[in-house]
Amino acid sequence: MPIVSASELSRRRQEIIDAARTCFARYGYEGATVTRLEKATGKTRGAIFHHFGDKEALFLAIASEDAARQAEVVAENGLIEVMRHLLTNPEQNEWYATRAEILRRLRTDEDFEARWRSHQEVLENAVHARLERNSVMREDVSLDLLQTYLSTVMDGLISRMAAGEPVDKLERMLDFVEQSVRRPDAEL
């Protein structure tokens, strides 16, 4: 039996994540059956579950990767920029549908919350660090409150996008949100 290199295993794992993200975005967690995941990835269930112990592990790997990608943008430009990119490039952001599914699971599956939170720490830490070093942020409220506010806006934005809200209306809302977190004397 040939030995597969670590880089080849990593490549295969990434292929599964990328294809499964699309499947979860399209069908939701429950609807992304093993049969649909096999079809979407072009891999057998054995190959899929060789890399990921079960469907939830695969879903959490996607959530973790998406959080890391968002954390990179947040570190450079802030969470509002993540939201703007989501609006202007929805085809590049299938993760938003996965995030909507995460929100549903958080509401309905208590055990899922603890497993999910450990994957989201990188994003939460990036948002907090960005707020700490941003010199134009309001000073009359705590950074924790600002972070909660921006995270809540993001979740609401995702819900509105899923409901088909017009992009221009959501862009104007983000302009308002950006103004609301800055000091009154700070320029945009």
DSSP structure string for the chain: -PPPPHHHHHHHHHHHHHHHHHHHHHHHHHHS-HHHHHHHHTS-HHHHHHHSSSHHHHHHHHHHHHHHHHHHHHHHH-HHHHHHHHHH-GGG-THHHHHHHHHHHHHH-HHHHHHHHHHHHHHHHHHHHHHHH-TTB-SSS-HHHHHHHHHHHHHHHHHHHHTT--HHHHHHHHHHHHHHHB-TT---
pLDDT tens column, 10-38: 898 999 999 999 899 888 888 999 999 99
pLDDT tens column, 124-157: 899 999 999 988 889 899 999 999 999 999 989 9
Domain count of the chain? 1
For residue 123, being part of any structural domain is answered with yes
- The predicted pLDDT at position 108 comes to 84
For residue 30, being part of any structural domain is answered with no
Q: What range defines the domain where residue 79 resides?
A: 54-181
- The predicted pLDDT at position 107 comes to 84
pLDDT tens column, 146-185: 999 999 999 899 888 878 888 899 999 999 999 999 988 8
| CATH, residue 86 | 1.10.357.10
For residue 109, being part of any structural domain is answered with yes
